[in-house]
């Protein structure tokens, strides 16, 4: 087959060298093994929010833009939106603290500098999300029937419903905690004009006395077709990510397809830069009432972001997949940066607003500064 003299960047080349073929085979075997293991259990349920903690994780820079980073790179936490962003060099430690729903949910995230001991760049992100003081209302119903006396066998006794004459025993209310831990490892390969990224993620979920563990894979790609442009594609949970609970129950999380485009416009003479970005998320397995658009049998949602940067100061606005608006402010000194994000809650939800602050620093720069002070 003769190679075409005209290159089409939208089509992946069919002829690959032996090293790339070996890598693809190696990755495909891992994907198949995970999928095979996940299908062994007989008791399995499809859920929509089983891996929601990975969608909630991020830094202030990401959340202020509505997490619209399928195509746009914006720091180390961007690999959670598209593993192909691991190709961008980031030599800083990133820490982010998130306070959501007026303090009901708290989370922390740490992203490490690019690991350069491997042939390809590797990025690692760790995060934790916790909810405390969740009331346990099981076994607090005094299910004594209409006469309010236990053991008489009258109408309504032990029927599991709050009937007239019955009450709840507030002294029996106990509290438990939910904790979720996640790790995300990503790496990239170059394929002509495309950057291909694979992200492997592990998950541990503890809910009261129960716990679950899971593993999943995201696959993404980015490319650029003109000056200032970036185009991105991501298939999250490509192997139907799953959680295996301690009682043997398996929760499956269906894949989701993201496509995004970002455009940067800069004015060097006045140090002003604009960056616009839009993502569309498609659910291949159906529609829902909160979709923004319908494409045949698939439902879709969109998110968008705008960043305006003047010298070291960045002002950001965003709209997430949950239709919540966000805004943020950032200061970047190259060797260190600090960012803040604010997400408003809908009046009908009455869950309270969310705040997120994050900062990053170059360890070598910090050591040099400390050395000068000493």
Break the chain down into helix, strand, coil percent, rounded to 5. 15, 45, 40
Strand pairing category for 229-236 and 210-223: antiparallel
Q: Would 3 be classed as within a structural domain?
A: no
Looking at the DSSP assignment, which residues form a beta bridge with residue 219? 198, 235
DSSP secondary structure code for residue 368 in this structure? H
- Report yes or no: 68 and 303 within 8 Å, Cβ to Cβ: yes
Longest alpha-carbon distance in the chain: 90
Do 47 and 142 fall into the same domain? no
pLDDT digits over 146-181, tens only? 666 666 666 666 666 666 666 666 677 777 778 899
Whole-angstrom distance, CA of residue 316 vs CA of residue 318: 7
Q: Are 157 and 262 members of one domain?
A: no
Strand 44-47 and strand 250-253: the pairing is parallel
Domain hosting 234: range is: 18-133+175-373
The β-bridge partners of 203 are 182, 214
- Assess whether 233 and 160 both reside in one domain: no
Residue-wise pLDDT for 215-232, tens only, equals 889 999 999 999 999 999
Q: What is the pTM of this model?
A: 0.77
Domain-located, residue 2: no
Q: Name the domain count of the chain.
A: 2
Q: DSSP string of 278-341?
A: EEEEEETT---TT-SEEETTEEEEEEEEEEEEETTEEEEEEE-TTS-EEEEEEEE-SSEEEEEE
What whole-number distance in Å separates Cα of residue 51 and Cα of residue 31? 18
Give 296-346 pLDDT, tens digit per residue. 777 788 999 999 999 899 999 999 888 789 999 999 988 889 999 998 776
**181 and 289 co-located in one domain:** yes
Same domain, 46 and 159: no
Same domain, yes or no: 154 and 44: no
Indicate whether 155 and 92 sit together in one domain: no
Residues 161 and 284 in one domain: no
Domain boundary pick from 172, 191, 226: 172
**Per-residue confidence (pLDDT) for residue 186, from 0 to 100:** 93
Please report whether residue 9 resides in a domain.
Answer: no
Q: Does 243 share its domain with 221?
A: yes
Both 198 and 236 in one domain: the answer is yes
For residue 46, give every residue at least 6 positions away whose Cβ sits within 8 Å of its Cβ, in sequence order, or none.
Answer: 251, 252, 253, 254
94-103 burial: b if 16+ Cβ within 10 Å, else e: bebebbbbee
Q: How confident is the model at residue 209 (pLDDT cuts 50, 70, 90)?
A: confident
* CATH code, 53: 2.40.160.40
3-state secondary structure of 26: helix
């Amino acid at each position: 087959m003769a190679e075409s003299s005209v290159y089409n960047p939208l089509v992946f080349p069919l002829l690959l060298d032996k090293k790339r073929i070996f890598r693809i085979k190696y990755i495909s075997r891992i994907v198949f093994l995970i999928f095979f293991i996940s299908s062994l259990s007989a008791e399995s349920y499809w859920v929509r929010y089983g891996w929601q903690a990975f969608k909630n994780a991020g830094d202030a820079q990401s959340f202020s833009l509505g997490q619209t980073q399928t195509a746009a790179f914006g720091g180390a936490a961007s690999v959670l939106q598209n593993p192909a962003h691991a190709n961008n060099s980031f030599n800083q430690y990133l820490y982010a603290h998130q306070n959501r729903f007026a303090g009901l949910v708290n989370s922390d995230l740490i992203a490490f500098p690019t690991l350069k001991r491997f042939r390809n760049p590797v990025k690692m992100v760790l995060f934790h999300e916790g909810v405390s003081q969740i009331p346990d209302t099981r076994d607090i119903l005094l299910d004594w029937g209409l006469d309010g006396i236990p053991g008489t066998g009258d109408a309504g006794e032990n029927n599991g419903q709050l009937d007239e004459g019955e009450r709840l025993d507030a002294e029996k209310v106990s509290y438990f905690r939910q904790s979720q831990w996640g790790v995300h490892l990503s790496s990239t390969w170059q394929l002509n004009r495309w950057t291909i990224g694979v992200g492997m993620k592990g998950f541990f979920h503890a809910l009261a006395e129960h716990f679950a563990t899971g593993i999943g894979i995201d696959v993404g790609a980015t490319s650029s077709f003109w000056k200032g442009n970036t185009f991105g594609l991501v298939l999250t949970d490509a192997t139907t990510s799953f959680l295996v609970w301690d009682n043997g129950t398996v929760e499956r999380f269906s894949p989701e397809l993201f496509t995004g485009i970002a455009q940067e416009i800069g004015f060097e003479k006045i140090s002003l830069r604009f960056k616009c970005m839009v993502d569309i998320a498609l659910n291949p397995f159906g529609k829902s009432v909160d979709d923004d658009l319908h494409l045949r049998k698939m439902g879709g949602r969109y998110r968008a972001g705008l960043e305006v940067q003047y010298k070291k100061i960045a002002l950001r606005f965003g709209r997430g997949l949950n239709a919540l608006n966000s805004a943020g402010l950032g200061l970047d000194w190259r060797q260190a940066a600090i960012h803040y994000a604010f997400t408003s809650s809908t009046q009908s939800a009455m869950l309270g607003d969310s705040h997120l602050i994050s900062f990053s620093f170059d360890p070598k720069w910090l050591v040099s500064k400390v050395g000068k002070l000493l």
